[in-house]
Structure 1
């Protein structure tokens, strides 16, 4: 008897929903956050221990970076045509 050939079907793989989540704008926002962290820690290390820059301005910059900029970089997504139509 002759061998029967098995038909091989191409299986479509579903694309990951997270594949195109991070755009160029997300990386720019993340870079701004990293820059603010560097500036904040640099200002914290300056001057004597009672320097007003290292006691007030530096912690405010660090809080802005950690609590606003980094979450914004993670959750920001441009609206596409599909989202605006719905």
Structure 2
């Protein structure tokens, strides 16, 4: 006679993966980041349009790329809203 085999039931739990950026980045950071991407795309487009010695390719597009890479991208990473201390505002001063 064969022995009855007990099957073990495996319980799986649903894991909620939370983005690590949700702690640090908010909507403003994402808007600034995509604005930086837009500046870089426009800068490279302006660099490719026209002759190689045109004013747009030599002056305007490097300025736009500089703004995108050096100002907007770091600003989008480092920007954080100032949080007001609500407890200090609600307590009466004596």
Fold in common (TM above 0.5): yes
| Structure 2 residue matching 1:81: 3-state secondary structure | coil
The Cα shift of 1:19 comes to: 4.8
Change (3 A) 1:33 1:18: closer
Aligned alpha-carbon RMSD (Å):
1.7
Change (3 A) 1:18 1:41: closer
The total of aligned residue pairs comes to 67
TM-score (norm 2): 0.66
| Structure 1 residue matching 2:24: 3-state secondary structure | coil
List structure 1 runs of 4+ shifted beyond 3 angstroms: none
| Structure 1 unpaired stretches of 5+ | 1-16
Q: Which has the higher contact order (CA 8 A, sep 6+)?
A: 1
The structure whose Rg is larger is 2
TM-score (norm 1): 0.72
| Structure 2 unpaired stretches of 5+ | 1-19, 89-94
- Structure 2 residue 69 is matched with structure 1 residue 66: yes
